[in-house]
Amino acid sequence: MEKLRRWKFAVAVVFAAEALFAIAGGRVAHATEVGYARKYGAGVVVGDPTGLSGKIWLTNVNAIDLGFGAYGYGYRGGCFRDVDGRAICDRGWGQRILSINADYLWESKILEGSAAQLDWHIGGGARALFVNDPCAADCTLVGARAPIGLDLAFARPSFLEIFLEVAPAFYLVPAAFFGFEGGLGARAYF
Domain assignment present for residue 49? The answer is: yes
- Domain housing 118: 29-189
User: 151 pLDDT band (50/70/90 cuts)?
Assistant: very high
Q: Is the pLDDT of residue 145 over 90?
A: yes
Quick check: is 41 in a domain? yes
Q: Alpha-carbon distance 74 to 97, whole Å?
A: 12
Instruction: Tell me if the bond preceding 174 is cis, omega within 30° of 0.
Output: yes
Binned at pLDDT 50, 70 and 90, residue 17 comes out as very low
Residue 35 covered by a domain: yes
Q: Please check whether residue 3 lies inside any domain of the structure.
A: no
CA distance 168 to 125: 11
CA–CA dist 167, 146 (Å, integer): 5
Give CA 171 to chain center in angstroms.
Answer: 18
pLDDT above 90 for 93: no
**pLDDT one-digit tens code per residue, 27-36:** 445 667 776 7
Tens-place pLDDT, residues 36-92: 788 899 999 998 888 999 999 999 899 999 999 987 654 445 566 666 777 666 554
Q: Average the pLDDT over 153-176 and give the result.
A: 90
Pairing of strands 97-112, 87-89: unpaired
Residue 16 lies in a domain: no
User: Which residues are paired to 99 by β-bridges?
Assistant: 69, 129
Please report the pLDDT score of residue 78 as a whole number: 57
Peptide bond into 157 cis (omega under 30): yes
Q: For the beta carbon of residue 42, count every other beta carbon within 10 angstroms.
A: 13
- The rounded percent of the chain whose pLDDT value lies above 70 is 68
* Number of domains the chain is built from: 1
144 vs 5, residue with greater confidence: 144
Confidence of residue 18 (pLDDT cuts 50, 70, 90): low
CB 187 within 8 A of CB 42: yes
Residue 2 lies in a domain: no
Task: Classify residue 184: in a domain, yes or no.
Answer: yes
Residue 182 lies in a domain: yes
In angstroms, the CA 71 to CA 98 distance is 6
The model's confidence at residue 122, banded by pLDDT at 50, 70 and 90, is: very high
User: Which CATH number covers residue 182?
Assistant: 2.40.160.20
CB crowding 7-35: b at 16 or more within 10 Å, else e = eeeeeeeeeeeeeeebeeeeeeebbbbbb
Please give the residue that has the higher pLDDT: either 153 or 103. 103
Q: What is the percentage of the chain residues whose pLDDT exceeds 90? A: 38
